[in-house]
């Protein structure tokens, strides 16, 4: 654990931004039930029954909205099996779940992951446009290329290599944007007197011919309240960053070192500018796992309890997948072996190996860190200690906000909302109430004009 260093911070990191007081932090909750920590689900307070448990999801969404969070975020993948991370074995399909949650929330942004490797642009464009209507402008799409080859099994086709997946993603998003712009904003007039349900001249049929995808027809959903749903991108390799800088409104990333987080943040903003965008149009949100206690000892005790509950098979699946090599064959108290270049999560493998070298970790130590937060920032401490680190990362320009990853649900998320959020609000770092109604309003992002 490097919590002391994180909690104390490095004075030379702290360069107060000119506009630091006015800038507002963005907060999302990364919902992986029963919990992000591999051992989280076995905590006595974790909800694990009546799976996949809609009331639990409704409760988490209500808590996020009470905490004035920007968004509720669902990851997604297609693999299941005994040795998977418990949060991926059995779950809701994201878009149908978010449509249900749109009915029990009024302001909270609703973000789901959608694959550009295992779907058609039409299906994804239609689903998110529809969710944006159902929720009154609160939809976001996490654009992923789906990193793991095992995801391909259910589709019965080979898993494309990393570079090809990103080439497909570029085309996929371009096609979706054209589909979302099929209809003018004011196309559906419903004019009974004139006998016009739709205004003539309001349809622009997309004609897109790519290498991987072709679209030669329009979307049968009116233009969405947000124009386009908010686009999130979460790949941090070279091609991942390039895609993010070109198309993303929000970048999710795993970072655990302040200096590297700062460098990543600057690289994304600089690339966005090179694509003719303003730096503020792309928000960078690293993940953070808060393990909060009333005292530091209480927080450490909770963390120790979570670690005692780790299932070795599941933890090695998570670790081996991230590194692209079976790690269970190596001695736990030896050095971390160097894996060959991976075609899966390139940036995460690099981040974990960098962390292992920087902190001189044994395989066992790396195993525990990955079983907890999978390489994301891990903070074990009191509410003010956790708030201090978030504030420091935010003010130094390493983050525009955070994607909160509770070790299990619902307790630790309640604790974050009830004890850390009020501190951030008192410090003027986070909103006391929502000012607008759409997710673009919350994030301070413009509504895309139809081309």
Stretch of 81-89, 152-160, 179-187, 231-239 lying at the interface with ligand FMN (CB under 6 A) = 231-239
Taking the complex as a whole, how short is the minimal distance between the CB of residue 152 and ligand FMN, in angstroms?
Answer: 12
The backbone torsions φ and ψ at residue 47, rounded to the nearest 5 degrees and listed phi first, read -85, 125
**Omega before 34 within 30 of 0, i.e. cis:** yes
Name the residue nearer to ligand FMN (CB basis): 113 or 271.
113
Q: How many residues sit close enough to ligand FMN to count as binding (CB under 6 A)? A: 22
Stretch touching ligand FMN by CB under 6 A, among 192-200, 265-273, 314-322, 341-349:
341-349
Instruction: Note whether 382 and 297 are within 8 A (CB).
Output: no
Q: Of 36, 85, 348, 431, which one interacts with ligand FMN (CB under 6 A)? A: 348
Three-class DSSP category at 258: helix
Stretch that binds ligand FMN, among 75-83, 172-180, 216-224, 306-314 (CB under 6 A): 75-83
Sign of the torsion angle spanned by Cα atoms 9, 15, 20, 25: negative
* Residue 446 neighbours by CB distance under 10 Å: 10
Among 253, 317, 396, 419, binds ligand FMN (CB under 6 A): 253
| E-state strands within 51-99 | 71-74
Task: Kindly give the pairing relationship between strand 26-30 and strand 71-74.
Answer: parallel
Site map 110..139 versus ligand FMN, x via CB under 6 A: ---x--------------------------
Q: Which of 33, 61, 98, 144 binds ligand FMN (CB under 6 A)?
A: 144
The distance of closest approach from Cβ of residue 2 to ligand FMN in the complex, given in angstroms and rounded to an integer, is 19
Residue (270 or 297) nearer to ligand FMN, CB: 270
DSSP string, 167-224: HHHHHHHHHHHHHHTSB-TT-EEEETTTTEEE-TT-B----EE-SS-EE-S--SSPPB
Cβ nearer to ligand FMN, comparing 86 with 235: 235
Does 145 contact ligand FMN by CB under 6 A?
A: yes
Least distance from C-beta 277 to ligand FMN, angstroms? 19
Q: Which of 248, 26, 221, 235 is nearest to 141 (CA)?
A: 248
Among 39, 287, 324, 406, binds ligand FMN (CB under 6 A): 287
Which of 34, 35, 40, 77 is close enough to bind ligand FMN by CB under 6 A?
A: 77
Task: Considering the complex, state which of residue 242 and residue 299 has its C-beta at the smaller distance from ligand FMN.
Answer: 242
Q: Which is closer to ligand FMN, CB of 219 or CB of 268?
A: 268
Nearest CA to 95 among 120, 118, 126, 56? 126
Per CB under 6 A, 271 contacts ligand FMN: no
> Given candidates 403, 429, 440, 445, which one binds ligand FMN under the rule CB under 6 A?
403
Q: Which one of 35, 114, 235, 410 is in contact with ligand FMN (CB under 6 A)?
A: 235
- Given a contact cutoff of 8 angstroms between Cβ atoms, the answer to whether 301 and 336 are in contact is no
Decide: is 252 part of the binding site for ligand FMN (CB under 6 A): yes
Q: Name 227's bridge partners.
A: 224
d(CA 308, CA 374): 17
d(CA 336, CA 286): 25
Q: Does 345 participate in binding ligand FMN (rule CB under 6 A)?
A: yes
How far, CA to CA in Å, does 223 sit from each of 177, 182, 185, 228, 405?
11, 7, 5, 8, 33
Does position 347 interact with ligand FMN (CB under 6 A)? The reply is: yes
In the structure encoding, which two tokens stand for residue 181, read together?
Answer: 């712009």
Residue 324 lies near ligand FMN (rule: CB under 6 A):
no
Q: If we measure between CA atoms, which residue out of 120, 159, 170, 165 comes closest to residue 145?
A: 165
The footprint of ligand FMN (CB under 6 A) covers 75-77, 113, 144-147, 234-237, 240, 252-254, 287, 345-348, 403
């Amino acid at each position: 654990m490097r919590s002391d260093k994180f909690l104390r911070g490095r004075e030379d990191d702290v360069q107060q931004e000119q506009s630091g007081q006015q800038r507002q932090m963005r907060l999302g909750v990364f919902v992986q039930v029963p919990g992000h920590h591999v051992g989280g689900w076995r905590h006595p307070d974790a909800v694990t029954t009546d799976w996949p448990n809609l009331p639990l999801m409704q409760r988490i969404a209500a808590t996020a909205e009470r905490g004035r969070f920007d968004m509720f975020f669902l990851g997604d993948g297609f693999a299941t099996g005994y040795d998977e991370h418990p949060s991926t074995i059995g779950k809701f399909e994201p878009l149908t779940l978010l449509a249900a949650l749109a009915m029990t929330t009024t302001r909270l942004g609703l973000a789901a992951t959608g694959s550009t490797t295992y779907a058609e642009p039409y299906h994804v464009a239609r689903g998110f446009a529809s969710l944006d209507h159902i929720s009154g402008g609160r939809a976001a799409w996490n654009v992923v290329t789906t990193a793991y080859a095992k995801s391909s099994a259910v589709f019965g086709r080979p898993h494309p290599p990393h570079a090809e997946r990103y080439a497909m993603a570029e085309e996929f998003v371009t096609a979706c944007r054209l589909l979302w712009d099929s209809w003018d904003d004011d196309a559906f007039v419903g004019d009974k007197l004139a006998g016009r349900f739709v205004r003539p001249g309001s349809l622009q049929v997309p004609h897109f011919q790519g290498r991987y995808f072709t679209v030669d027809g329009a979307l049968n959903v009116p233009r969405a309240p947000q124009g386009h749903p908010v686009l999130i991108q979460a790949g941090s390799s070279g091609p991942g960053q390039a895609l993010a800088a070109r198309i993303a409104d929000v970048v999710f990333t795993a970072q655990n070192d302040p200096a590297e987080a700062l460098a990543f943040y600057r690289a994304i903003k600089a690339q966005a500018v090179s694509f003719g965008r303003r730096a503020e149009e792309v928000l960078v949100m690293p993940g953070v796992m808060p393990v909060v206690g009333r005292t530091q000892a209480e927080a450490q005790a909770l963390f120790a309890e979570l670690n005692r509950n780790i299932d070795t098979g599941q933890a090695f699946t998570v670790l081996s997948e991230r590194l692209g090599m079976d790690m269970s064959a190596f001695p736990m108290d030896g050095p971390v072996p160097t894996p060959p270049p991976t075609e899966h999560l390139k940036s995460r493998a690099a981040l974990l190996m960098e962390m292992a070298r920087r902190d001189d970790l044994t395989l066992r130590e790396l195993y525990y860190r990955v079983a907890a937060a999978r390489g994301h920032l891990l903070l074990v401490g009191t509410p003010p200690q956790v708030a201090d680190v978030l504030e420091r990362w935010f003010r130094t320009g390493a983050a525009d906000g955070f994607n909160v990853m509770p070790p299990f649900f619902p307790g630790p998320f309640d604790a974050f909302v009830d004890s850390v959020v009020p501190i951030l609000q008192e410090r003027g770092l986070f909103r006391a109430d929502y000012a607008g109604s759409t997710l673009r309003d919350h994030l301070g992002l413009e509504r895309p004009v139809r081309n």
